[in-house]
Amino acid sequence: MADDLRTLADEDLMQLVRRGQAAAFEVIYERHSQAAFSLAYRMAGSRGVAEDVVQEAFLNIWRSGARYERARGSVRTWLLGIVHHRAIDALRRSFVHEKRRASDEGIAETLETGERTDVEAARSEEAATVRKALLGLPPEQVQVIELAYFGGFTHTEIAEMLETPIGTVKGRMRLGLEKMRHALGGGRVSQG
């Protein structure tokens, strides 16, 4: 049964998850747990916190699968949005802010780039495109985007940190996203 499920698109799997099919959910987990964990780890800088974040996010998704709506975008985007929320919750609630910058566990845990499936190779290319778009921004725009999205800081905190007016920080965020959008071709990056 699991093999049959693996041929289904995420959106179809979510229909089964909605009906309480654990096997369908497991396929969703297997497809997206790496991206989820990577994002959580990037934000928290700690394996333990990242594990908690991912576990919470996936259980939340399992219990609320009925709330996914196709029209809102891909399952992957939806799911990573939930992980991002959970990670920000963790960051803003706690001590992680102080620790996460210096990853104490880093390099060895990064995935080997050896055996990649076609899907993974495509995602790797997309990741490179996004990284290029992000790093192609003026440094002050990259800085506020990274502090906000991956650091979980509010614009007020960022303004204090950089000793820059809040309006300037907000302006850099918007400008940065606009330039990224253009660099990405103005269209959606496939995340499916």
Partner 1 sequence: MRTGPDHERWADSIGAYLLEALPDDEREGFEAHLADCPTCRRDTDELRVAADALPMSVEPVAPPAALQGRVMTVVRAEAELLAASGPGADRPEPAADPGRDVEEAAPGRTSAARGRRAGGRGRLSGGRFLGGVLERPAFALACALVLLVLGGAGGALLRGGGGDEAPGPRPPALRTTAAQIDAARAPNASVRLEQRDGSARLVVRDMPAPPAGRLYQVWLKRPGQSPEPMPVLWAPRRDGSAEVYVPGRLDGVDAVLVTDEPRGGAQIPSKAPVITAVPA
Query: Using the rule CB under 8 A, which residue among 161, 162, 175, 192 binds partner 1?
Result: 175
Separation between Cα atoms, residue 16 and residue 100, nearest integer Å: 37
Question: Minimum Å distance from CB 104 to partner 1?
Answer: 14
CB of residue 116 to partner 1, shortest distance in Å: 10
Which CB, 138 or 171, lies closer to partner 1? 171
Q: Rule CB under 8 A: say whether 97 interacts with partner 1.
A: no
* Length of the chain (residues): 192
Of the two residues 10 and 145, which places its CB atom closer to partner 1 in the complex? 145
Q: Check if the beta carbon of residue 54 is closer than 8 Å to that of residue 110.
A: no
Closest CA to 58 of 73, 80, 91: 80
Whole-angstrom Cα distance, residue 163 to residue 155? 12
Q: How far is the CB of 75 from partner 1 (least distance, A)?
A: 11
Q: Could you say whether residue 13 binds partner 1 (CB under 8 A)? A: no
